[in-house]
Amino acid sequence: MLKQLKRPFQYKKIPLQLDEKVSLGKKAKSKDMGATLKRIWTFLSYNKSLLFLVLLMVLISSALALLGPFLVGVAIDEYIVTRNSDGFITLLAGLAVIYVFHSLSLWFQNYWMIGIAQETVFTMRTKLFRHLHKLPIPFFDKRQQGELMSRVTNDIENVSSTLNSSVIQVFSSLLTLIGTISVMLWLSPLLTLITLIIVPLMFLGMKWITKRTGKLFKEQQKNLGELNGFIEETISGQRIIKTFSQEKKVIAEFHEKGEKLRRAGFWAQTYSGFIPKLMNVLNNLSFAIIAGIGGIFALNGMISIGVIVIFTEYSRQFTRPLNDLANQFNTLLSAIAGAERVFDIMDEEEEFKNEKDLKELSHIKGEVEFCNVSFSYEEDGNTVRNVNLHVKAGQTAAFVGPTGAGKTTMVNLLSRFYERDTGSILIDGQDISLVKKESLRKNMGFVLQDSFLFRGTVRENIRYGRLEASDEEVEKAAKLANAHSFIMKLPQQYDTVLSQDGSGISQGQKQLLSIARAFLANPGILILDEATSSIDTVTELKIQDALQELMKGRTSFVIAHRLNTIQNADKIFVLEEGCIIEEGTHESLLIHEGFYYQLHGKAAVGAHA
């Protein structure tokens, strides 16, 4: 297998059948290109005044680019052919001034356009990032992190580089084209029409090429996103990969995804590379037509030598913008592919939309009720079925049951990370679907199994619970969470910088920090997802002790994985396949000798084994 992986770039292995090449892009969804361009334009037009200046410079440079060759023709007909030197120097000086101003206008349009492009991309990226953080959890369930990251970075970068070059190019090419054809028509309509023979040829060629490249560019961006997603996933899952010795499998998968990207990239570049070649051939063809037919016209006295010189110069100016437009079209296609992927995310509905008229949930006592609640992650599933429960303010409730029974889902519904399908959930008698989600979550604190730490100091990580908390409050919370003593042993105590996954501290210490966070947040309802990972006994006792302290006086929901930690709970709900099958205190459930009794028996056997 490794031998196969190590094989170098396999140019010859790429199939050459056209159908297959094009089918690379067949999966890409075709969208309305015009609508995407319009949306890019709305971002561009935030800088209207600067854009106006750029367009003015484009207009000036295009006009000067037309004037130059025209004056050269005049110089030939009026001064060189007639051997007249009066005013020749003035004409040359005029030409020099024209070319200097032409260069200046090019420089300014470029300078301002870079500014516009950078700002546009900054706005777009900020908007996208802000929007991403307003999307609901189910949105993230369906997507790979790296793939999303690729949209915020690569796809937007793609739009940026195109804006930098394309806007000016497209406008200047269009203006030059219109100006050139107008002057050519004015000088010799017949020769112009003959020269324009290449235009339909060009359009046919372009159509053939862009039909293929558009799809391929989309495929390329999609493959790049997938590859990034895979890289992100495998880097964050390094430990698991190493634990299960799956390096070869991961490399093979990477190779496969890389190969797909390479193929799409290869064909996208190959087809787009045809455009300049095609334009070059057509350019030479138009040059030959003008020289040949123009020469015949000149011999017959229909046009002057100066006009032929102007025409040959203009023919270059006329095919160059067409060439530029064609090239820009390719870049534009790639940018549109990127922009579509960005707008796809922007079009996802925000979580807090339509909440304007809803009430804030504040100063709750913590009474919680589930009335006939049902929910399913998938359309045809049944994860939570007709659940009814009542927990009084300040009580501790525990969810127990086999894996996949729906314990986590219950708290997901309470915090509205997911919306119940039917029934209602009440806090202090208020239906939570009628309150603002943000205010609901502000009243809830989470201590999860996998306590996520951000890159930053210990202090910053605890302060995440309440950003405005003072240093004293942070330390007080750490003391309550039994975290203070281990923090003081860290190299820079509260200022010790933790890496993103908190790799410098133990799993148990991470839990203590997340308990400190919850103390600082001081929520009305607490959700505890018990750690299943093995934590040393001393730290575990510290965690249990801190949690008992944290739960005091507030409603708490414990997702219990070990039954010994919830024996003091006021209510234990036993779940099986999304239904509450038993409910009571530890003692009453044991007396009942039902499912809980069996679970408890198994746990006891497990503990003794």
Q: Which residues contribute to the site for ligand ATP (CB under 6 A)?
A: 141, 377, 383, 401, 403-409
Distance CA 84, CA 82 (A): 5
Residues 79/91, Cβ–Cβ less than 8 Å:
yes
Minimum CB–partner distance for residue 420 and ligand ATP (Å): 13
Please, what is the minimum distance in Å from the beta carbon of residue 414 to ligand ATP? Answer: 12
Among candidate residues 340, 322, 346, the one with its CA nearest the CA of residue 159: 340
Beta bridge partners of 359: 435
Instruction: Collect all residues with Cβ–Cβ distance below 8 Å to 158 and sequence separation of at least 6.
Output: 221, 334, 335, 337, 338
Q: In the numeric block, which tokens belong to residue 192?
A: 């112009």
- Nearest distance in Å: CB 528, ligand ATP: 13
Which CB, 513 or 559, lies closer to ligand ATP?
559
Q: Which is nearer to ligand ATP, 407 or 517 (CB)?
A: 407
Residues 6+ apart with CB under 8 A from 119: 46, 47
CA distance 265 to 143: 23
DSSP per position, 301-317: TSS-HHHHHHHHHHHHH
| Nearest distance, CB of residue 602 and ligand ATP, angstroms | 15
In this structure, which long-range contacts are made by residues 108-114, counting pairs with CB atoms below 8 Å and at least 24 apart in sequence?
108/53, 108/57, 109/54, 109/57, 109/58, 109/61, 109/168, 109/172, 110/168, 112/50, 112/53, 112/54, 112/57, 113/54, 113/163, 113/164, 113/167, 113/168, 114/164
Tell me the chain's radius of gyration from C-alpha atoms: 35
C-alpha span between 519 and 325 (Å, rounded): 62
Dist. CA 286–CA 288, nearest whole Å: 5
Considering the complex, what minimum distance in angstroms separates the CB of residue 375 from ligand ATP? 9
- Kindly report the number of other CB atoms within 10 A of residue 2's CB atom: 8
Q: How far is the CB of 141 from ligand ATP (least distance, A)?
A: 4
Give the residue with the Cβ less far from ligand ATP, 384 or 481.
Answer: 384
By beta-carbon proximity to ligand ATP, the closer residue of 230 and 573 is: 573
Measured from the CB atom, is 459 or 600 closer to ligand ATP? Answer: 600
Minimum CB distance to ligand ATP smaller for 123 or for 507 = 507
Minimum CB–partner distance for residue 147 and ligand ATP (Å): 17
To ligand ATP, the closest distance from the beta carbon of 403 in angstroms equals 3
Token digits of residue 117: 């492009």
**At its nearest, how many Å lie between ligand ATP and the CB of residue 450?**
11
Q: What DSSP designation does 360 have?
A: P
404 vs 601 by CB, closer to ligand ATP: 404
Q: Which is nearer to ligand ATP, 137 or 296 (CB)?
A: 137
Nearer to ligand ATP, 405 or 435 (CB): 405
Give least dist CB 377 to ligand ATP, A.
Answer: 3
Of 416 and 463, which has the nearer Cβ to ligand ATP? 416
* C-alpha closest to that of 177 among 152, 202, 213: 202
Strands (E) in 272-421, as ranges, are 368-375, 384-391, 396-400
